[in-house]
């Protein structure tokens, strides 16, 4: 049906039997649905909102249990699309109560006259895509159906309460309430024996208020949760002043921030701070009572590193011990099984008698109360604060959704939600989700995310109308790519280490996976913009009078942190490094390295000199904190034979020393252009010999050493192995080659695929080669080890990165070693660039690669594997895995 006809019939509200025609139907009249309706109308679309509840409010309509409030400061948890609206409404508290938020949403609905296009008390029973008409047909429980061109789920993330899944609920003779479906009439708890099951945010918010009324309250807690004081009251003066000082700037910062609230990125890492400094930061955060602040502002590694997080978690447990005087109760309330922030913490705290379900699980609910393994509790009222079938439940539970070719969304999502951008699903044309799984949603200030999503969707509908397109659908390629990117992002945070509703682990039988996008609000926004700027990358668009358009592909192929680093470098608009000249380039590298996070502590760092071929060479030795003697790894830094020194890969050496439990000796070989080929190679070999001969004096195990190197250092490590074999030793038990230079030709595809844009450029490599080695010498195996004899070399672990000009020569070297019978494993690191593995604590996704490198070195040394909890993802995830070419 033409859009004009659709429009003309749109406002004819129908009941029973007839089908209302609109451009767009929206499910849900919460924050998202209201804003969508406003924007759609302004854009000239006919729109209808279908809402099961009796009024607007969404989650704030249903969650009216005692104590319900928001946990993001209300000045941030507001619409920002209309400055007049902002000045027309004033919040009374720092964290507004549910009634006030509901009043606000009612105020918004009235101000923009939204209710006239909302059908309340209407549940959708079925949604089916009609391919011929290119429309969605919605049937409802009122009998009035709707036909729409586009169908938008504004259903919220926490709207489908989880069933109690405890035996015997039906037998209970008393009253049963769910926090997520609290009655609108007054609930009388005065003088009653009440049980609350669950101590998530809803439980913790409601328990103190229920306790005030009830004669007796028994709280059944399975998992203790981190609870923090909210210090409610007026909005803090400093935040209010920031907002009032530059409202537009403040809102814009929020849109590009990580969590949707304007706080800067913390740079200081936990191990850089003293105990006293950490405590001071923590006390400040504790006193502030701001969830986003305490989740992001203490130290840079608090949310990404198990150790950095444990320091904070212990400080909170210390508070619990100080507040709760009964040690047994304090222990029961102290979370130990999940990192702080991996479950949503609560701004409040329980203050009542507790049943620890870890010690006495609930057996069943009986007619008169709750029976655990040890006791019977007689109660008159049970409150289930047991949470939600989050993110997907709200979308799937409302009705069956059938897309193109009869595809059911439940089937497509049977093993976990698949989406493109969290906004669309392949196979479901013209279906959009607001804050769906795969978007930042619940890990962000929802108000900011909702506006971004709604704007993006409505802007696309406008653009389609202008171009004559009538359908839009995500491609399978784009969706699969987004799934990979989502999984990559999830390795950046600690959410993977907790059983929560974020991962689906709270619902028995639900597929496991981190459902919200963990890459941050700002990066997500820029990706959505890139999709548009890339010609709607990953979408197929069709229309009756226009040619089909499909610019297929993946929007993010880089690892998320690599993307951030490269974007940051691109924003700096640096001139090519080679344009600085060799000394200028060295100064630049030194300055660049000074700005990176300091390396982690090791047992000891010793600087010294060793005897090279023509005189002393500096070295830096990294010794583990464990008792020695330790195996020794001789390490050669990167820098194209021109740049760097024994300290320039300091964070990498420290990290590998800690992971392997081995001594790393980083050698300062001499550099070009002052010392050209074969100086670096000969220095490398001489240094390795000296270190092997002096192993005991250095505190190492006598016997074979190992060699390792990155980039040109990888080249020197590979060459050293060949020279040691040909010159009668010393014995080397293994070689770790990270993005090594192995050959002098530049015609492999990675040299053109990754010629620019990934920091190490093709022209920089040309420059390095020119400074180090004249064309006549380049085929010498001491600089092109791929040209040498690769038989009888030590076992190797070769690392290559997808976005590295040197990728293919690294692969070629691994293949050559394998063909010659050398035991070799190769790690092809997807989405990584040349510097990924040495940018420790900046490129966090490099951790899994370094874990594998450390394991390889331990194998070379004949040691058992030693994994650090949390590093490698205890859950299935797309960590780069070593590809064994041959053994």
Residues 147, 506, 735, 826: which binds ligand N01 (CB under 6 A)?
Answer: 506
CB nearer to ligand N01: give 222 or 363. Answer: 222
Which neighbouring-strand residues pair with 439?
437
* Residue with smallest beta-carbon separation from ligand N01: 200
Considering only residues 335 through 364, tell me which ones interact with ligand N01, judged by CB under 6 A: 344, 357, 362
658 in Cβ contact with 630 (< 8 Å): no
Residues 73, 80, 201, 879: which binds ligand N01 (CB under 6 A)?
Answer: 201
CB nearer to ligand N01: give 388 or 772. Answer: 388
Classify the phi-psi angles of 520: left when phi > 0, otherwise alpha if psi is within -120 to 50, otherwise beta: left
Whether the CA torsion 557, 560, 563, 567 is positive or negative: it is positive
- Using CB under 6 A, which of the segments 201-209, 561-569, 638-646, 669-677 binds ligand N01? 201-209
**Torsion from C-alpha of 418, 424, 428, 429, nearest 10 degrees:** -160
456 in Cβ contact with 268 (< 8 Å): no
Say whether residue 441 binds ligand N01 (CB under 6 A).
no
Q: How far apart are CA 51 and CA 56, in angstroms?
A: 8
Say whether residue 807 binds ligand N01 (CB under 6 A).
no
Q: How far apart are CA 558 and CA 569, in angstroms?
A: 15
Q: Read off the DSSP letter of residue 510.
A: P
Say whether residue 20 binds ligand N01 (CB under 6 A).
no
Whether the CA torsion 667, 671, 675, 681 is positive or negative: it is positive
Minimum CB–partner distance for residue 74 and ligand N01 (Å) = 10
Residues 46, 205, 559, 835: which binds ligand N01 (CB under 6 A)?
Answer: 205
CB nearer to ligand N01: give 97 or 471. Answer: 97
Tokens in use for 204?
A: 């913790």
261, with CB counted inside 10 A (0-12, 13-18, 19+), is: buried
CB nearer to ligand N01: give 167 or 884. Answer: 167
CB atoms within 10 A of CB 823: 18
Minimum CB–partner distance for residue 388 and ligand N01 (Å) = 6
Considering only residues 602 through 621, tell me which ones interact with ligand N01, judged by CB under 6 A: none
Residues 166, 269, 391, 494: which binds ligand N01 (CB under 6 A)?
Answer: 166
Residues 222, 279, 465, 762: which binds ligand N01 (CB under 6 A)?
Answer: 222
Say whether residue 707 binds ligand N01 (CB under 6 A).
no
CB nearer to ligand N01: give 145 or 441. Answer: 441
- Using CB under 6 A, which of the segments 188-196, 386-394, 576-584, 810-818 binds ligand N01? 386-394
Which neighbouring-strand residues pair with 542?
471
- Using CB under 6 A, which of the segments 101-109, 195-203, 248-256, 551-559 binds ligand N01? 195-203
Minimum CB–partner distance for residue 655 and ligand N01 (Å) = 33
CB nearer to ligand N01: give 508 or 544. Answer: 508
Say whether residue 76 binds ligand N01 (CB under 6 A).
no
Say whether residue 389 binds ligand N01 (CB under 6 A).
no
Residues 30, 156, 203, 794: which binds ligand N01 (CB under 6 A)?
Answer: 203
Regarding beta strands 824-833 and 882-886, do their DSSP bridges make them parallel or antiparallel, or are they unpaired?
A: antiparallel
Helix (H) or strand (E) holding 72: none
Minimum CB–partner distance for residue 293 and ligand N01 (Å) = 15
Say whether residue 158 binds ligand N01 (CB under 6 A).
yes
Residues 71, 380, 683, 871: which binds ligand N01 (CB under 6 A)?
Answer: 71
Say whether residue 206 binds ligand N01 (CB under 6 A).
no
Classify the phi-psi angles of 72: left when phi > 0, otherwise alpha if psi is within -120 to 50, otherwise beta: beta
Place of tokens 């906004």: 423
CB nearer to ligand N01: give 63 or 470. Answer: 63
> Maximum Cα–Cα distance for the chain, whole Å?
95
Regarding beta strands 124-130 and 135-140, do their DSSP bridges make them parallel or antiparallel, or are they unpaired?
A: antiparallel
Helix (H) or strand (E) holding 863: none
37 in Cβ contact with 164 (< 8 Å): no
CB nearer to ligand N01: give 166 or 738. Answer: 166
Q: Read off the DSSP letter of residue 408.
A: B
Minimum CB–partner distance for residue 166 and ligand N01 (Å) = 5
CA dist 777 → 1, 398, 675, 740, 784 (Å):
73, 71, 14, 18, 9
Q: What share of the chain is helix, strand, coil (3-state, %, to 5)?
A: 35, 20, 45
Of 126, 131, 145, 116, the C-alpha closest to 47 is 116
Number of residues interacting with ligand N01: please give it, by CB under 6 A: 27
- Using CB under 6 A, which of the segments 193-201, 258-266, 405-413, 705-713 binds ligand N01? 193-201
Would you tell me which residues interact with ligand N01 (CB under 6 A)?
A: 69-71, 158, 165-166, 179, 197-203, 205, 222-223, 344, 357, 362, 385-388, 442, 501, 506
């Amino acid at each position: 049906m033409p859009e004009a006809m659709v429009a003309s019939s749109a406002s004819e509200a129908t009941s029973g039997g007839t089908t209302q025609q609109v451009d767009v139907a929206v499910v849900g009249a919460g924050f998202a649905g209201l804003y969508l309706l406003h924007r759609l109308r302004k854009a000239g679309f006919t729109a209808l909102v279908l809402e099961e509840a009796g009024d607007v409010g969404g989650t704030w309509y249903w969650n009216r249990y005692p104590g319900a409030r928001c946990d993001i400061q209300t000045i941030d948890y507001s619409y920002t699309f209309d400055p007049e609206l902002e000045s027309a409404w004033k919040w009374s508290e720092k964290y507004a109560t549910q009634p006030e938020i509901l009043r606000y949403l009612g105020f918004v609905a009235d101000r923009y006259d939204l209710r006239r296009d909302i059908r309340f008390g209407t549940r959708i029973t079925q949604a089916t895509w009609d391919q011929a008409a290119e429309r969605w047909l919605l049937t409802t429980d009122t009998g009035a159906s709707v036909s729409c061109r586009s169908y938008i789920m504004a259903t919220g993330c926490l709207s489908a309460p989880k069933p109690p899944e405890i035996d015997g609920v039906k037998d209970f003779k008393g009253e049963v309430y769910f926090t997520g479906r609290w009655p609108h009439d007054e609930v009388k708890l005065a003088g009653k024996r009440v049980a609350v099951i669950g101590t998530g945010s809803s439980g913790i918010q409601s328990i103190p208020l229920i306790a005030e009324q009830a004669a007796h309250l028994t709280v059944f807690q399975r998992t203790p949760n981190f609870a923090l004081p909210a210090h409610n009251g007026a909005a803090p003066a400093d935040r209010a002043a920031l907002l009032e000082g530059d409202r537009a700037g403040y809102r814009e910062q929020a849109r590009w921030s990580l969590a949707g609230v304007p706080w800067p990125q913390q740079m200081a890492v936990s191990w850089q701070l003293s105990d006293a400094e950490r405590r001071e930061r923590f006390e400040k955060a504790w006193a502030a009572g701001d969830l986003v602040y305490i989740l992001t502002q203490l130290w840079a590694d608090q949310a990404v590193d198990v150790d950095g997080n444990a320091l904070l978690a212990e400080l909170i447990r210390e508070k619990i011990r100080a507040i709760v005087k009964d040690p047994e109760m304090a222990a029961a309330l102290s979370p130990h099984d999940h990192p702080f922030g991996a479950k949503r913490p609560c701004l409040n705290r329980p203050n009542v008698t507790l049943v620890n379900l870890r010690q006495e699980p609930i057996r069943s609910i009986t007619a008169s109360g709750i029976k655990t393994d040890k006791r019977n509790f007689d109660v008159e009222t049970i409150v289930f604060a047991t949470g939600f079938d989050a993110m997907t439940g709200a979308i799937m539970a409302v009705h069956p959704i059938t897309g193109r070719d009869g595809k059911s969304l439940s089937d497509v999502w049977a093993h976990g939600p698949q989406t493109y951008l969290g906004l669309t699903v392949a196979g479901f044309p013209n279906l959009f989700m607001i804050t769906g799984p795969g978007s930042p949603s619940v890990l962000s200030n929802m108000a900011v995310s909702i506006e971004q999503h709604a704007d993006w969707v409505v802007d696309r509908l406008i653009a389609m109308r202008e171009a004559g397109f009538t359908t839009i659908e995500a491609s399978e390629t784009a969706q699969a790519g987004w799934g990979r990117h989502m999984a990559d992002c999830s390795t950046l945070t600690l959410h993977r280490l907790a059983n929560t509703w974020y991962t689906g682990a709270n619902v028995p039988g639900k597929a496991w996976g981190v459902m919200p996008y963990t890459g941050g609000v700002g990066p997500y926004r820029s990706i959505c913009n890139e999709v548009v700027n890339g010609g709607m990358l990953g979408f197929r668009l069709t229309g009756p009078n226009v040619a089909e358009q499909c610019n297929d592909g993946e929007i993010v192929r880089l690892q998320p942190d690599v993307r951030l680093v490269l974007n940051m470098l691109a924003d700096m608009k640096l001139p090519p490094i080679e344009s600085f000249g060799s000394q200028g380039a060295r100064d630049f590298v030194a300055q660049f390295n000074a700005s990176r996070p300091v390396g982690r502590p090791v047992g000891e760092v010793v600087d010294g000199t060793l005897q090279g071929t023509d005189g002393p060479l500096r070295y830096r030795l990294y010794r583990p904190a464990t008792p020695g003697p330790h195996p020794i790894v001789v390490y050669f830094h990167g820098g194209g034979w021109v740049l760097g020194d024994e300290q320039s890969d300091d964070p990498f050496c420290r990290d590998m020393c800690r992971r392997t439990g081995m001594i790393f000796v980083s050698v300062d070989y001499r550099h070009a252009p002052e010392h050209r080929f074969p100086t670096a190679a000969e220095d490398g070999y001489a240094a390795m010999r000296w270190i092997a001969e002096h192993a005991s004096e250095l505190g190492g195990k006598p016997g074979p050493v190992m060699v390792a190197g990155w980039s040109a250092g990888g080249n020197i490590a590979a060459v050293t192995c060949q020279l040691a074999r040909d010159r009668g030793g010393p014995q080397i038990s293994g070689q770790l080659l990270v993005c090594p230079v192995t050959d002098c030709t530049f015609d492999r595809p990675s040299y053109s695929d990754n010629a620019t844009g990934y920091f190490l450029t093709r022209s920089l490599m040309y420059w390095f080669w020119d400074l180090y080695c004249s064309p006549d010498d380049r085929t010498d195996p001491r600089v092109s080890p791929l040209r040498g004899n690769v038989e009888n070399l030590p076992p190797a672990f070769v690392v290559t990165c997808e976005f590295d000009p040197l990728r293919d020569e690294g692969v070629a070297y691994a293949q050559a070693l394998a063909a010659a019978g050398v035991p070799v494993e190769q790690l092809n690191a997807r989405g990584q660039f040349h510097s990924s593995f040495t940018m420790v604590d900046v490129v966090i996704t490099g951790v899994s690669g370094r874990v594998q490198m450390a394991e390889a070195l331990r194998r070379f040394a004949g040691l058992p594997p030693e994994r650090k909890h949390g590093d490698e993802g205890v859950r299935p995830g797309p960590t780069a895995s070593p590809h064994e070419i041959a053994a």
